[in-house]
Structure formats: C-alpha cells, structure tokens
A and B are shown apart, each in its own frame.
Chain A
Amino acid sequence: MFSRQRIQPGSPYLTDESKLTGESRNVALPFSEDEVREIMRVYNSKGNPVTVSAMRTGVCGGCVPMGNDVVSLENMSGAVGVGRDDRSYFIRLLPCTTLEELDRILLERSFDGLEDLTPGAVESLSSEPVSYFYPVDPTEMGGSIGGNVATNASGPRTYRYGTTRDWVRSIRVVFADGGVTEIRRGECVAEGNRIGFPAGRCYYSFDVPSYHVDGRVKNATGPRFQEGMDLIDLFIGSEGIFGIITMVEVYLIPRVPTVSCIQFFPDDASALGAAKRIRSEVAGLEFLEFMDKGSIDLIRSVMDRDPLVVGSPVPPEGSALFFDIPEEGHLDTLGTIGEIVRSYGSSLEDSWFGSTLEDFRRMRELRHAVPKSIFEYVASLKSAMPKIHKLGTDMAVPDGAADEMMSFYRSRLDEAGLEYVIFGHIGNNHPHVEIILRSMEEYEKAKAIYEEFAAKAVSLGGSCSAEHGLGRIKTRYLPLSYGEEAVAAIRTIKDVMDPKGILNPGVILEAVR
C-alpha cells in the first residue's frame, strides 16, 4: 500500500516556479519503484489521471495538477551505484536526486554504501586523482535528475557539453498500466521509422513521426523523433507523458579546473558585439552568458536583501558577459579576450576574475539572481492577480539569425511600452527575455507579443522552447514548431502507450480529449 495525503489549499504541490496555480485533492508519495507501479495500476484501473511531480523547479507548469491527483517522487532520492563502461564512469540515481546532491556526492566522493554496477567501479572512482562531475548545469541545481531527463534540461554549459540527452546512459520507466522496463542507449533502435519494445506484459509498437529538427539549435520543444531513433530518446524530453522515470544512469567526466570571469561593458551593444567575437575567436569556453543593463540594474537593486548575493561585490552599471575558461593556458586566452574587449570600449580592468569554487559560486549566484528575483516578483503579484504567471522567453535561433531576433525582441517590447530584462545563454543564441509585468493589462499585452516571438523564432529556423520544455503553459508551441500532423502522430503514440490518457494530461499536448 502506498502513502497518500490530502492536499490543502495553497500547498506547494499546486504550483512550480512558473507560479501557475492548479488544483488537486490528493498526493501519492511512493518510496520505491514498486510503489510507483502500484499507484499506476490503481489509477489506471479507475481511469483517473495523475500529474507527476518532483522538486517543482520547472518554469512551464509541467508538474502543476489541473484537478487530478499528484504523484510526487520526492521520497525517491539518492545515489544507488557506480559503474564504468567504454565511455566513462556512470552513476545510477533515484529520480528525485537533485543535481546539487549529485555534485556533493561526487565532490566529497561519498560513495560508501553504493553498489558496484561493474566490478570494482566504486573503488576505482574513489581513487581517481581528480574528482568527476556531471557536466550538465541547468543553473537551478535544486532540480531533480528525473525532471532534468524528462525535460532534456540544458543550461549555460550546454555550450560545451550539450544537453541532458547526451549524458543519459539508461533509464527505468514505469508505464501507465504499471508495467516497467529498463532502457539503455543503443539497445533498442528504430528500424527505419518503426520502433517496438516489450514492457511488462505489453509490447508497444508505433511509427516514428518525421519532423525536421535542426540539431545545431538548442531545442526542448517536445520529444525528439527521427528515423532510426533510439528508444531512450522517446522518454528524454517528453515530460512524463509516456511514462514515469524511476531510475537514471548518467555519465560522468573528470572535473576540469577552470577560472571564472565577468567582463563589464558600457552598453548592451558592446557586450553583444564582443560576445560574437569571443565565441568565434576563443577556444575552450565552458559557457558564455550575457546580462543586459537592465539585468545588472536588477541585481544591484536586490543586493542588500537577497541572501544568495549578499556576499558578492556590487557590479558596476552597464552590461556584462560571464564565462569560464580552462585554467590551463588561461593567461593566453585572457590576452586574446583583452584585445577583443578593448575594441568594444571596455578593458580588462573592468572585470572580475575568480579562480576558486567560491568565486565561481558568487558569480553564478549573481547571474541566477536575475531569474530568481523575477520569480519572487511574480509570486508577490499573485495575491492581487491570481491568474498572472511568469513570462520569460526560452527561444534559440541559428547563428545567422541571432541579431535579427535580438532586434525583434527589443523593438516589439519597446513599442508596447513593456519593461524587460535580457540575460542568459548568448553562446547558444539563447538569451532569456523576462517581461516585468505590473498589471493584468500588461500581462495580456505581453502574452500576445510572446506569441509573435515564438512565431519569429520558428520562422528563423529556431526553437520556441530551447531548454524549459513545454509543460502546460507552452503546449500551443508544439503545433507551431512541427505542424498539426506531427502533433497528431505524437497523440497516436500517446494512445498506444497510455490509452486512457492518465499520465500528465495537458502537458506538451493540449488536453483536448
């Protein structure tokens, strides 16, 4: 028997970082995969839908229930074992292990009690001269690994290391009927456009939809399909609509010593110009992040009250680029960067340099203070405007379209008289535009402009959701990105695997049925 509790009004189970608010009466709290299976058998037999939830750090409302019960995996956390294969070491994790916890385990080498998934792996990893790490960094380190896989999370370090998808070795998935299977990359691949696999007493088989995805552009807009696809990619990025992830194995790599820098510029145009040149002329960047003048002003305004940044120096006015480079050879690299920034009206005197984890943490918290301040701001509006939620873009475009997209953002928002800040992953042409809302009128106006941004990004060959996924808030961007035919094909697969439609209804696919 599994644990189930009543949900009280105002419960944290009813919202996430998008501040979208939902409704639900009960939350099931499994402690094991067997309990997840039991829960699904019970709910499936009655045809009662569920919304899967973990750390609730998503920003698209994917874990926000709309009347149905919640299955929260919060009690399934921790590392299980360590193994090694031809590629590298890997670690097996329960789904609600946070990235912060994973990082701590690897940094402290807290491997006591972990299982050897391959002979001698734990001892071998413990005795490595440098510690290993999981390189995907979605900025929000409090998110769960299961949630990261379900949304194919990415972040600043995607610039160098790719997305979650590139690091997942295997997963275990519980299906709507309570069946379970383990899927390892490379073990089940589509033959042409047909894929099939056994799970419990069922055998699922379906045609792979074909829609074009530009692999060079960051994209978390729904599941990724392609001819000859690996089965594991059906579940990575599909936000739990096909099954619940109950175990994840991710690859690890040796920690690379790096140094961290923030370079300040007099204005946004200078920073953006320098970013373009740094990206093309400097090798080995771990990430390249942009903070516009508005973002720096926002940081300066919260420095005395946000405990996370209270220990950081106050940044000067203007805009900034934040980047990490490998420690080895960093003086040469900084020399090159110095020449670039000089041609954009700045100098290496106008910068911060850090060589320790603490320095990096300070700079990172400063960067994270921008979205966090906006989350808090939107939360403060909720009592007066219950229907409001955060409106921040998550669009990425190809290299050649970055300037056009940036100009479009600014011109439309300026024309509409909306206040906004722009920050984020400029290295991947993926800045976030956060619209600072002050009234419901502005909210409605901003929503309309957001639609224009999405359409523009798609018309430029980009993606509507580069890293946050679609959740409940952005479902309309699935047909915008891939067309109605592709959406119908995804629905067909959903019908095969979850005929009663009980898994995360309304997530990714509009709840029209």
Chain B
Amino acid sequence: MRFLVAVKQVPDTSAMRVDADGNLVRQGVPSILDPYCETALCRILDTRVPGDEVAVFTMGPPQAESCLRRCLDLGADRAFLITDRDLGGSDTWATARAVSAFVERHCPDADLLVFGRQTIDGGTGQVPYEVAQLLDRQQFAYVTDLSIGDGGIEATQDYGDSLRRCKVPVRSVVSFGEVDLKGRLCSIADHIRAGERSVVKIDRVGLGLGVYSVGLKGSTTRIEGTSVVKGERKCRKVRIENPDRAVELIFDMVGVKG
C-alpha cells in the first residue's frame, strides 16, 4: 500500500497573542508541523505494515522543509516540497489545483491520499475536498479510525451525532478529523535514520502548471479587510429566593415554555 500524506507548516497559533490594537503578533512565533496533519500522518504510520510506503508532501516556502524533516523523523519514507515564488498567495482552490497536479505527475500510484481535516492557521478545511473533486476521487471526511484488512480499507467517520463505518475504495481521499492531545516524539535513532533521506523539491514547472493557474494570479479569493469581532454580553443580576420562580424566570428569558 502506498500512502501519500499532505502536511503543512503553520505558525504555532497557541504561542500567538493579540496586541492592544487587536492585531495578531506573529514575530517570534515558531513554525510547527500542523497538529491535524501530524495526527493524520501518525495514524497512517500506525496503520502501515511492512512493505507499505508512506510519502509526505507540503507546499510552502523553502523553510517548510523543516516540517518535512519532522515527518521523516516520525517515520515517513519519502518527502516532497512543492516550492516556488509563483505559488505564493494561493487560496484554497489554487492550492488544491497545485496539489492535484503534484499527485497526478509525481505520485499517480498512491493508493490513499491523506489529509488532516484542516490546518490551525487558516482553518478553512476546504483543500481535501477540493482535491478530491479535481482528481475525481471519492472522499471520506472526519475519519477517526482507518484499518486495512482482507476486505480492503475500512474507515470510521464521525458525523458528530453518529458514527459511520464504511469501505474506502483504493485511490480515495481521506481526511482525519481529530488532533492527538499527546503529541509524538521520535527517538534519536529515528532522527539519525531520517537524516539519510532527502527531500525532493518541485517547482511550478515541475507541476506542469502555468503562472495564471497558481498563486495570487490563480486565486479568486480577495481579502478586502479583517476586523476583530467584539462580542457584547448584557448581564442582569436578579436575586430570587424561590427556586421555582427562578426556573420560570430563566425559561421566560430563553423563550422556553415550562
């Protein structure tokens, strides 16, 4: 089985803070492997059996290689970095277009294309489904468990109010919906072994895409501006001795008939 896992390097949003003007302070915030992507990769590494291959790829600036290095440390066999100035500023659709082109050109034999549900920086959660659409493949979202047996690949999807167990055809797109609370650390020996593997770099030409298909030029999203939404909460303090009367009052306030 050949697994291809999409990952992304993101700023560690848990280390970000908002300044007095409501702006995000990005200076000094370390870049990390996105936790959703890391979880997806770890689930695949736990699923694979001897003979399987796990490849990872990311699209980003040259320094995104460090997140691929982490993937290799964790146990991935191969890594691809899609990097080109022309790709800068891609929205989700342009990203999906570049990712799809990469899969078709460089990993057409991947049996399963794996994503995290979303990334913590943008949080749009659109790319996995757009890639599935562009590649004309089935997609399975919110996966919590994946197993491979004699009957093929099976996944459990969490729909919030119900779980669905289903068969996953080969060449599908799967996105894991969870983040592992306990992150994973590789061993020193894993790290030394990973140092022997290289990261393959691919540019726009290597994807076979023109400049108007990628990056800002290939993106239809336009950000007009951002603002901080301030929630206002109106409080009222009422002192009531009778509990039944208090319940009635709460019901009245929230519009529930007792």
A314 proximal to B (CB < 8 A): yes
Cα A439 to Cα B30 with chains together (Å): 46
Q: Quick one: which of A110, A355, A358, A359 contacts B27, CB cutoff 8 A? A: A110
Interface residues on B, range: 20 to 34
Is B191 within 8 A of A353, CB to CB?
Answer: yes
Contact B182 A313 (CB under 8 A): yes
Residue of A nearest to B33 (CB): A356
A401 to chain B, nearest CB (A): 31
User: Are B187 and A352 in contact (CB-based, < 8 A)?
Assistant: yes
Q: In the docked arrangement, what's the CA distance between A334 and B187, Å?
A: 11
The yes or no answer to B171 lying at the interface (CB within 8 A) is no
Q: Which of A246-254, A342-350, A414-422 contacts B (4 or more CB under 8 A)?
A: A342-350
| List of B residues within 8 angstroms of A108 by Cβ | 25, 27-29
| In the complex, A326 has a CB within 8 A of chain B | no
Closest A residue to B185 using CB positions: A352
Q: Which residue of A lies closest to B19 (CB)?
A: A110
Q: Check B208 for interface membership: any CB of A closer than 8 A.
A: no
Does B189 touch A at the CB level, under 8 Å? yes
Contacts of B184 on A, CB cut-off 8 Å? 313
Q: Is the CB of A314 within 8 A of B182?
A: yes
Chain A residues lying within 8 Å of B28, measured Cβ to Cβ, are: 104, 106-109, 131
A139 interface hit (Cβ, 8 Å):
no
User: Within 8 Å CB of A131, what residues of B?
Assistant: 28
Report if A310 contacts B (CB, 8 A). Answer: yes
Give the complex CA separation of A331 and B195 in angstroms. 9
Give residues of chain A (333-375) contacting chain B, Cβ–Cβ below 8 Å: 334-335, 337-338, 347-359, 362-363
Q: Contacts of A263 on B, CB cut-off 8 Å?
A: 188
Whether A109 lies near B181 (C-beta < 8 A) is no
In the complex, what's the smallest C-beta–C-beta distance from B203 to chain A, in angstroms? 26
Contact, CB under 8 Å: A352 / B186 = yes
Of residues 473 through 512 on chain A, the ones whose CB sits less than 8 Å from some CB of chain B are: none
Contact in complex: B185, A349 (CB < 8 Å) = no
- Interface presence of B73 (CB below 8 A): yes
Residue of B nearest to A262 (CB): B185
Please provide the chain A residues from 284 to 318 with a CB less than 8 Å away from any CB of chain B in the complex.
310-314
Are the C-beta atoms of B73 and A353 separated by less than 8 Å?
Answer: yes
Report whether A110 and B25 are in contact in the complex, using a CB–CB cutoff of 8 Å. yes
The smallest beta-carbon distance between A81 and chain B, in angstroms, is: 19
Q: Tell whether, in the assembled complex, residue B186 and residue A348 are in contact, meaning their CB atoms are under 8 Å apart.
A: no
B27 touches A348 (CB 8 A): no
Q: Does A71 contact B (CB under 8 A)?
A: no
Query: Is A261's beta carbon under 8 Å from chain B?
Result: yes
* B49 is an interface residue with CB less than 8 A from chain A: no
**What are 6 A-B contacts with C-beta separation under 8 Å?**
A107-B27, A108-B27, A310-B181, A310-B182, A337-B188, A348-B189
Q: Which 4 A-B pairs have the closest CB atoms?
A: A107-B28, A108-B28, A352-B185, A348-B189
12 more contacts with CB within 8 A, not counting A311-B182, A358-B30, are: A106-B28, A109-B27, A314-B182, A334-B192, A348-B187, A349-B189, A353-B187, A353-B188, A355-B73, A356-B30, A357-B15, A359-B185
* B binding-site residues for A, Cβ under 8 Å: 12, 15, 25, 27-30, 32, 66, 69-70, 73, 181-192, 195
